Amino acid sequence: MTLLAWSGWRIERRSGRSSFALVSALLSAGAGAVLCCALLFLAAGADPIAAFAALAKGSFGSTRAIADTLVRATPLILTGLATAIAFRARLWNIGAEGQVFAGAMFAFWCQSAIGAAPAYLQIPVIVLGSLCGGALFGALAGALKARFQVDEVIATVMLNYIIIYALSLLLQQGPWTEPGGFFEQTAMVPDQAKLPILIEKTRLHLGFVLALVLAAILHVVLHHSPLGYEIRAAGSNLRALQVQGVHAGRLILVVFALSGAIAGLAGAFEVYGVQYRLKSGTLGGLGYTGIIIAILGQLSPRAVVIAGLLFGALLNGSTLMQIRTGVPSALIYAIEAIILMFFLIAWAISQFRLRRLRDVD
């Protein structure tokens, strides 16, 4: 296809993609994003170099800072994986946001039921509970699509809003309200339900390792299992699978449940690994950031881990940046989106090439 043409030159779509194009796309996206951020720092009246330095120090400056970066990255890796696995099948699950809530809520419900049971029981209950909660809530969106042909983007966005109100209801006037508390949150969870800390004097918890293990498992599932085969095939041409007798509705349901389960885990890890109580505010935004991470990671589990770590660092460093330079940490959300935009544009442009025409006689 010709995109633009002027005397003697033409921009055309490449037939294939070169790895050179990918690398240059990534580099130019990175450079563009850094430049854009520098401008935003200037606009906020801060010295860009000092701001970047504070950002780096905040995220990697000490063992504690690095551990915190990994803690921040954990839920992002999980929501990134959840989104990636669904997008791979061309199922636009925007609902990781809500599925995080569902996982946290279901895990909390299950864990409350066993109360003060010993730790070796608590952890499996929390993990399984969150997987089930996320899977059920994900499957709800999947069922709406498979059974009623409801557009999954809209369905998942609506469910995201609905579950936030549901949690708020349970926390404010419901059975989960902290006795005598003023904020919308539950009481602290019992000590034996807290996820084990991996390195002393840091907050790095078991969840991080589990997230990495899950990424490895998903990589194998996606590339070497029959289910992964169907997911990849569905992403390219669902119709051809149906002609071969694959039940499309069932596959949609399975993918949504799988995706939801992974996101649900992120919710439980935040509650039992970081906050030690269930509250609304800290769970918000994880799912939406996961979409960015999935796309930056090219929907591949390995790259999603890397993108998740990068974003964990950004989030973690932003606190120090705000203290040192006064730049509002809200900037991070703008930066995340800017990185995504630059990446999308650079990636798209790398599909085109400039070609010299032979003289038209």
**Under rule CB under 8 A, which residues in 277-306 are in contact with other proteins?**
288, 291-292, 295
Residues 83-122 that bind other proteins (CB under 8 A): 92, 94
Shortest Å distance, C-beta 224 to other proteins: 5
Shortest Å distance, C-beta 340 to other proteins: 5
Handedness of CA 89, 92, 95, 100 (dihedral sign): positive
Shortest Å distance, C-beta 180 to other proteins: 20
Tokens of 308: 């998740």
Size of the site for other proteins (CB under 8 A): 78
DSSP 98-163: HHHHHHHHHHHHHHHHHTT--HHHHHHHHHHHHHHHHHHHHHHHHHHHHHH---HHHHHHHHHHHH
271 binds other proteins (CB under 8 A): no
Shortest Å distance, C-beta 313 to other proteins: 17
| Contact of 96 with 290, CB cutoff 8 Å | yes
Nearer to other proteins, 204 or 251 (CB): 251
Tokens of 203: 């907050």
Residue in 274, 236, 320, 225 with CA at minimum distance from that of residue 78: 274
Q: 67: which residues sit within 8 A by CB, 6+ positions away?
A: 199, 202, 203, 204
40 binds other proteins (CB under 8 A): yes
Residues 2-21 that bind other proteins (CB under 8 A): 2-3, 5, 13, 15-16
Query: Which of 27, 188, 199, 357 contacts other proteins by CB under 8 A?
Result: 357
Nearer to other proteins, 116 or 360 (CB): 360
Shortest Å distance, C-beta 203 to other proteins: 26
354 binds other proteins (CB under 8 A): no
42 binds other proteins (CB under 8 A): no
Query: Which of 86, 159, 193, 214 contacts other proteins by CB under 8 A?
Result: 159
Nearer to other proteins, 202 or 282 (CB): 282
List the alpha helices (DSSP H) in the chain. Answer: 19-43, 48-60, 63-88, 96-114, 119-148, 152-172, 206-224, 226-243, 248-269, 286-296, 301-325, 331-349
| Contact of 105 with 277, CB cutoff 8 Å | no
Shortest Å distance, C-beta 100 to other proteins: 16
Residues 308-347 that bind other proteins (CB under 8 A): 326-328, 330-338, 340-341, 344-345
Residues 161-180 that bind other proteins (CB under 8 A): 161-162, 165-166, 168-169, 172-173
Shortest Å distance, C-beta 1 to other proteins: 5
Query: Which of 1, 20, 115, 175 contacts other proteins by CB under 8 A?
Result: 1
Query: Which of 31, 35, 43, 199 contacts other proteins by CB under 8 A?
Result: 43
Nearer to other proteins, 123 or 332 (CB): 332
Residues 194-253 that bind other proteins (CB under 8 A): 220, 224-226, 229-230, 232-233, 235-237, 239-247
Judge residue 50's burial from the number of C-beta atoms within 10 Å of its C-beta, 0-12 exposed, 13-18 middle, 19 or more buried: middle
Residue 283 neighbours by CB distance under 10 Å:
25
Tokens 């803690």 belong to residue: 71
Q: Whole-angstrom Cα distance, residue 112 to residue 190?
A: 9
Nearer to other proteins, 37 or 189 (CB): 37
Q: Quick one: how far is CA 316 from the chain centroid?
A: 16
Nearer to other proteins, 113 or 348 (CB): 348
Shortest Å distance, C-beta 137 to other proteins: 13
Residue in 231, 222, 205, 198 with CA at minimum distance from that of residue 302: 222
Tokens of 216: 């490895």
CA dist list (Å): 49 to 121, 173, 260, 317: 49, 48, 40, 14
Q: For the window 138-157, what string marks contact with other proteins as x by the rule CB under 8 A?
A: ------x---x-xx-xxx-x
